[in-house]
Amino acid sequence: MEQLTQILERLNRERVEFVLVGGLAGVFHGVPLVTRDVDVCLPFTEQNLFRLERALDGLNPVHRQTPQRLAFKVADDFPRGLKNLYLRTDLGVLDCLGEISGVGDYLAVRGRSEPAELPVGTVHILSLSALIDAKAALDRTQDKLALIHLRRIQQARS
């Protein structure tokens, strides 16, 4: 978990625009499940991608869903119109998503997030209700399990 928070610290330090989503967002809301990656929703603008590249400098980021494990490098010929980036770094897995099922694109996700003061700085985290919507839209076992916990947390807060 400590290595995953180091990824968040680096994103914050380089001022990458993002919202924390997925399992780690669930952990911050109180879900008692282990997560092995960092999932963020971000705008895939050129400026934000360059910030992401700086944030991951020295961590040997590679595209984890390519057989060649190509290095992540933003250049003039970097593909435009990206929707997702699935990266492996020396600190762990970072999934960068352009939209979240059940919530929408980055602007919708940002609109349903809330700032949280964490040891790594202020991080926008998907709200509890939005995270419930996102998990409900998925059909994976780990999401169904997280959904049970998230709904109980929501009931306890009501």
Residue 78 to residue 9: CA distance in whole angstroms: 25
* 157 domain-assigned: no
Residue 1: per-residue pLDDT: 66
Task: Categorize the per-residue pLDDT at 96 as very low, low, confident or very high, splitting at 50, 70 and 90.
Answer: very high
Residue 139: per-residue pLDDT: 87
Q: Which of 59, 144, 137 is nearest to 97 (CA)?
A: 137
pLDDT greater than 70 at residue 99: yes
* 154 domain-assigned: no
Q: Which of 114, 104, 124, 116 is nearest to 17 (CA)?
A: 124
Residue 101 to residue 76: CA distance in whole angstroms: 30
* 109 domain-assigned: yes
* 156 domain-assigned: no
- On whether the pTM is more than 0.75, the answer is yes
Residue 37: per-residue pLDDT: 94
Task: Categorize the per-residue pLDDT at 122 as very low, low, confident or very high, splitting at 50, 70 and 90.
Answer: very high
* 127 domain-assigned: yes
Residue 136 to residue 134: CA distance in whole angstroms: 5
* 155 domain-assigned: no
Tally of domains within the chain: 1
Structural domain range at position 92: 2-149
Q: Which of 74, 76, 75, 77 is nearest to 85 (CA)?
A: 74
What's the chain's average pLDDT?
92
**pLDDT tens per residue, range 41-90:** 999 998 999 999 999 999 999 999 877 788 888 876 666 677 899 999 99
- CATH number for the domain harbouring residue 65: 3.30.460.40
CA distances from residue 97 to 19, 32, 42, 155 in whole angstroms, order as listed: 10, 24, 6, 29
* 88 domain-assigned: yes
